[in-house]
Structures are given as C-alpha cells and as structure tokens.
Amino acid sequence: MNNHEAEQGGAEKRDVLARINECYAKMSKSHKVIATYISDHYDQAVFMTAAQLGAEVGTSESTVVRFAAGLGYDGYPEFQKTLADWVKNKLNSVARIGAKYGSSTQSEILTSVLTADIEKINDTIANLDPVAFETAVNILIECEHIYIIGLRSCEPLAEFLSFYLQMVRGDVILLKSTSTTEIFEQMLRINERDAIVGISFPRYSMRTLKAMEFANDRNAKVVTITDTVHSPMNLYSSCNLLARSDMVSIVDSLVAPLSLINAMVVALCLKCPEQVKTNLESLEEAWNNYQVYLNDEINFIDEDTMLSYSLTKPEE
C-alpha cells in the first residue's frame, strides 16, 4: 500500500465531521459555506448529489467535488458514503445505549449516569486552566458588550449565562437564530471593545464557529467554552475554557459545562459585589412596584445569597 492509499484508508476510518472541523480554518470561503451546511444539515446533505448540494449552497458541482478532495477523499461518492456511514452510526446510538444499560435496573442507571457526571466534573477541575478562567472573568468585566452564542443542546447553557450576566452587568446580547446570516445581523456592531462567549460541544456547531470567526475578524475578545484542546472552537479563541461533556448516550452531559459557567458567574459577582447588589436592589424594586412576584420569592438581597459563596474549605 502506498502513502496515498494509507492516507485515504485513514480518512475513511475517521469521523467525517471531525475532519471537516480540523480543515475548516484553512478552507476557502466557498468551501466553508459547504462545510457549514453539511455540519448543520448532515441528515439532508447525505442524500444529495454534488450538483444538488452545490445548488443548495449557491456554488458549483465542481466546487463540491474539490471540497471532498480537500478533505482527503478520492471524490464526492467516497465522501458521501463516509458521511452516510457516520449518520447511520449516529442513528444506532440507541442500540448502543441498550447494550450498555439494557440489563440494568432503574436505580443502577441513575447511579451510573450520576457517577459519570461526577467523574466529568472532577476531570474538569483537574484540567481547567486557572489562568484562562481568570482571564475570561476579567474580559467579561472589562468589555463594553458581551455577545453569547450556544446553539442546539448548548442553547440552555447560553441562556443561563446570559440571564445571570444581566444581573451582574448590562449590555449582554444573547444570539439566537436559525441561520448564520441572522447571527451576523445581530453582531453587526461588534468591535475591539466587545467580547463574545461561544459555547459548543460535539457535535460542534458551525454557526457558532462562524460567529466566533466573525468576532475575531472584528478584533473582539473571544472566549470559548468547549470540551478539548482539539475542538475547532479554539481556532479563533484567545481564552479556552475546557469542560468534559462526552457520554455514551443520545443526550449530551452538560453538568460540567454548567458548573463551569456557574463558577464564572460567582467569580464575576465577587469581582464587583456593589454593582451586583445595586442591580438586584433595582430589580427587586421593580418587582415590588409592579407586583411581579407578590412577595412569594426568596429575598436574595437581604440574605446576600448571591454573594455568600465561601472561598475557604469547610472545617473538618
């Protein structure tokens, strides 16, 4: 077997979307458009011919063929077959769950999943760069506007971070859209005084990656929350926060990323406690004036709940 054949054999065995992510930064603009469409619509792209895919994204059949060749495949048919195998494997994930948990009791499933989540949090604690964490906190305090993006399963994480950052400071923009074009429209005024937080875990979102690329091109500070140093989300980020999320399931485990975001919010509160307290007092005044909660909510301000985290270990 010659070197070219060996390389092609390796390409067939590797995750096709992982290859797209790895090659994305060096792609031409037209190839990036194709990559984005396939990553976001792989279930549709797998049934398209090169001509159909080209027409869908507004490029030529020959460009699609060159895209496949650029990923290391002999041609578009080989690329399409590899994509089809990946989609089939993804759909078989339910069967893999059955093999892992099929003979387990409900209690054993609960214990197994929670234990796996605990392990992910411990791994995140061991591998998270404290300098990167401190840098991210300072960026979020000092920037003029904060843009936050997290799509698909990461959308709840983005909403959680956005909600609590609004408590700490203003000028927080949560990017929500079903198309890259609409995301760019919401980011039109981003500049070097601003920052963006991009949250993405496998399967990585190309829309999130392109938003971060756009922000980087505008010289904005870019913070990413993702799973490994090999994540494509690190391509345009100057501050990478890593949290484990992998799990043998059709459901992503978001416990470790959520804990990381919670730690960021707490750190921000402790950096500017007076500003947080003022914001909460203003919010509670609005609640009282407009009878939003009719006094049936916990009073965070009197109890200083938001600022009560201890930075010392409890006495044994």
Within 10 angstroms of residue 205's Cβ, the number of other Cβ atoms is 25
Q: How far apart are the first and last CA of the chain?
A: 64
Long-range CB contacts (< 8 A, 24+ apart) of 155-162? Answer: 156/254, 157/199, 157/225, 157/254, 157/257, 157/258, 157/261, 158/197, 158/199, 160/258, 160/261, 161/197, 161/199, 161/261, 161/264, 161/265
Three-class secondary structure of residue 241 per DSSP: strand
Output the CA–CA distances (angstroms, integers) from residue 252 to 117, 153, 155, 193, in the order listed: 11, 7, 12, 34
Within 10 angstroms of residue 193's Cβ, the number of other Cβ atoms is 12
Query: Nearest 5°: phi and psi at 124?
Result: -65, -45
Residue 89 and residue 93: Cα distance in Å, rounded?
7
Query: Nearest 5°: phi and psi at 180?
Result: -65, -35
Dihedral through CA 63, CA 66, CA 68, CA 71, nearest 10?
A: -130
Counting Cβ atoms within 10 Å, is residue 36 exposed (0-12), middle (13-18) or buried (19+)?
Answer: buried
Residue 37 and residue 206: Cα distance in Å, rounded?
8
In terms of pTM, does the model score above 0.85? no
Is the alpha carbon torsion for 199, 143, 276, 126 positive or negative?
A: positive
- Look at the block and give the residue holding tokens 């960026």: 139
Dihedral through CA 151, CA 156, CA 161, CA 163, nearest 10?
A: 120
All domains of the chain, ordered by start, with CATH? Answer: 3-91 (1.10.10.10), 127-271 (3.40.50.10490), 276-307 (no CATH)
Sequential pLDDT tens for the chain (316 residues): 344 443 444 434 357 877 887 788 788 989 988 988 888 788 788 889 999 999 998 999 999 999 999 998 988 999 998 888 877 776 555 555 555 555 667 777 787 778 878 888 888 888 888 999 999 999 999 999 999 999 888 899 999 999 989 888 888 999 987 677 788 889 999 999 999 999 998 778 888 888 999 999 999 999 999 888 878 888 888 899 998 876 555 556 788 999 999 999 889 888 877 777 777 777 677 667 666 555 555 555 444 555 555 555 555 4
